[in-house]
């Protein structure tokens, strides 16, 4: 089976976007470095060992061979700022970046994602 991408603003089947609850996460070197040098300042203070997916916004889900392999999530960290994490299914965080809470993703390339079932 191929790898497919789902985005919450394109097509988001409930079974794929269901929260897995609280996940223990590990940050790779790239993720830590990205947090320390983010355009919104040093965000490494927001890197937590656990992420409550019920409090996060699941934005994108990658499915490989019928299993969730990666999620892109937005976690509120300040009044006007969210931390975006790219998290493998095993909890490994590949990268992070800060984003304004008000970002509406007007540049979203919908063609990269599954459009419907």
15-43 per-position pLDDT tens digit: 999 999 999 999 999 999 999 999 999 99
Please tell me the predicted confidence (pLDDT) of residue 105.
Answer: 64
Average pLDDT over residues 61-78: 94
pLDDT at residue 106, as a whole number: 67
Residues 25, 31: Cα–Cα separation, whole Å = 11
pLDDT tier for residue 73 given thresholds of 50, 70 and 90? very high
Checking DSSP bridges between strand 67-78 and strand 57-64, what pairing results, if any?
antiparallel
Model pTM score:
0.90
Whose structure tokens read 């409550």?
A: 52
C-beta separation of 46 from 36 below 8 A: no
């Amino acid at each position: 089976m191929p790898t497919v991408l789902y985005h919450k603003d394109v097509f988001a089947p409930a079974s794929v976007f269901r929260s897995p609850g609280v996940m223990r996460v590990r940050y790779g070197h790239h993720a830590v470095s990205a947090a320390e040098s983010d355009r919104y300042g040093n965000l490494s203070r927001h890197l937590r060992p656990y992420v409550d997916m019920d409090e996060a916004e699941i934005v994108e889900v990658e499915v490989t061979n019928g299993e969730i392999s990666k999620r892109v999530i937005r976690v509120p960290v300040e009044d006007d700022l969210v931390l975006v994490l790219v998290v493998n299914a095993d909890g490994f965080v590949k990268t992070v970046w800060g984003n304004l809470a008000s970002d509406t993703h007007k540049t979203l390339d919908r063609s990269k994602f599954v459009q419907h079932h």
